[in-house]
Amino acid sequence: MFNESVMRTFVVAALVAGALSCTQPAPAPQAQRSPAAPAAQPLRWGMVIHTGAGNFTLASLGDRQEAMRAAMHDALMAGHRVLAGGGSSLDAVQGAIVIMEDSPLFNAGKGAVFTHEGTNELDASIMDGRTLQAGAVAGLTHIKNPIRLARLVMEKSPHVMMAGDGAEAFAKEQGGIEFVPPGYFYTERSWKALQSALEAEKKAAQVESHHGTVGAVALDQHGNLAAGTSTGGLTNKRFGRIGDSPIVGAGTYANNRNCAISSTGIGEFFIRYTVAHDICARVEYQKMPIQAAADSVIQGMLEPVGGEGGIIGLDAAGNVAMSFNVTGMGRGYIGSDGRAVIQFTADDAAAAKQP
């Protein structure tokens, strides 16, 4: 079994930017305070998304920034259409995540990162804050949209989580889930990310990390919260490794009594600190505002132990939270006014606060 420092070395060496078009050196590690510029006013209803946290800058995102912004805008608008029509937060979360899974730009679905062996193993989960029903899938190799299968596990099985071949057999049995050959998940960017990780591993060096996992949380017009997360995991992962994204309470959590959270970052830390549930527990039991609860976990608990990453969240009153302990986290929100706000780094925050 790995001890903590061995595990951390393994994980850090294994992390590579989803953004390997980034040619700039990674910024020096620093104690980054989450700027988190959430909406000044609570949303009557709306949604928040993320596209992964990591040590990147706007310059290092380069040309990809505009394309990412456009895809995130599409995802927010898809969620907004569902919510504006009186649809459920679950449908909004799923709809937004499917769009991000179909984009090659993010580490989920089409753009999933590669394992050490050069395969792709996808994880996802979804949770209904009204019923506390949840569905999760892990280690998928042929499913185009893992979030759809997670939803099916939630709604059509007595189980919460299914993995690998079993999950895919369930998908076949149920029907309505699109299968793709493993080659579908090839992107040059993710392949290069694996090569860099393998090189870095040889030199025991650290490479820039931009995780690229996607997630969404939503509050619908009926006052119901939902959350979902989808990922290819960590570049260079081995031995059937599963991260936090499909783990209810770590990568995803939704409960109408407190909040909805989707996480991104080094999953091992998010699992051990049960991040998503811990934030919601602080909201409920300690009556903390959601942003303060998120900062106390992401910066107060995770940052000192090297648990890089962040979260997006919404509480039952429509307060938006965004918190991260690295230099950037792709993130956006939209409320009933239909105005989408999309940000990547700490510096974007100031601009978003303007009316």
What positions carry a catalytic annotation? 213
Q: What kind and span of H or E run contains 345?
A: strand 340-345
What's the rounded Cα separation, in Å, for the pair 295 and 222?
A: 28
| Residues between 99 and 118 with contacts to ligand ASP, criterion CB under 6 A | 107
- Beta carbon nearer to ligand ASP, 235 or 291: 235
**Binding span for ligand ASP by CB under 6 A among 38-46, 129-137, 229-237, 325-333:** 229-237
Judge contact between 19 and 52, C-beta under 8 A.
no
Residue 265 interacting with ligand ASP (CB under 6 A): yes
Least CB distance to ligand ASP at residue 156 (A) = 25
Residue 245 lies near ligand ASP (rule: CB under 6 A): yes
213 binding ligand ASP? (CB under 6 A)? yes
Cα(333)–Cα(47) distance, integer angstroms: 6
With respect to ligand ASP, which residue has the nearer C-beta, 83 or 140? 140
Residue 228 DSSP symbol: E
Residue with smaller CB distance to ligand ASP, 213 or 323? 213
CB of 256 to ligand ASP, least distance (A): 25
Q: State the DSSP string of 109-158.
A: GGGPPPPTTS---EEEEEEETTT--EEEEEEESSBS-HHHHHHHHHHHSS
Residues 179 and 170: their CA atoms lie apart, in Å, by 12
Q: Is 249 in the site for ligand ASP (CB under 6 A)?
A: no
Determine which residue in the list 244, 278, 295, 348 makes contact with ligand ASP, applying CB under 6 A: 244
In this chain, which stretch among 82-90, 128-136, 260-268, 282-290 interacts with ligand ASP, using CB under 6 A? Answer: 260-268
Q: Count the residues of the shown chain that bind ligand ASP, applying the rule CB under 6 A.
A: 15
**Strand 259-265 with 309-315, pairing:** antiparallel
Per DSSP, 210 falls in state B
How far apart are the C-alpha atoms of 215 and 72, rounded to whole Å?
A: 11
* Interface with ligand ASP (CB under 6 A), residue from 109, 111, 135, 233: 233
Q: Helical H runs in the chain?
A: 4-14, 58-61, 64-84, 89-102, 146-156, 164-174, 188-203, 267-272, 275-285, 290-295, 303-305, 348-353
Task: Write the CB contacts of 66 (distance below 8 Å, at least 6 apart in sequence).
Answer: none
User: Does residue 60 touch ligand ASP according to CB under 6 A?
Assistant: no
If one asks whether residue 264 binds ligand ASP (CB under 6 A), the answer comes out as yes
Q: Is 120 in the site for ligand ASP (CB under 6 A)?
A: no
Cα 221 to Cα 317: distance, rounded to the nearest angstrom:
11
- Nearer of residues 52 and 318 to ligand ASP, judged by Cβ: 52
Task: Name residues contacting ligand ASP, limited to 8-37 (CB under 6 A).
Answer: none
Binding status of residue 231 toward ligand ASP by CB under 6 A? yes
The residue ranges that bind ligand ASP (CB under 6 A) are 52, 107, 211-213, 231, 233-234, 243-245, 264-267
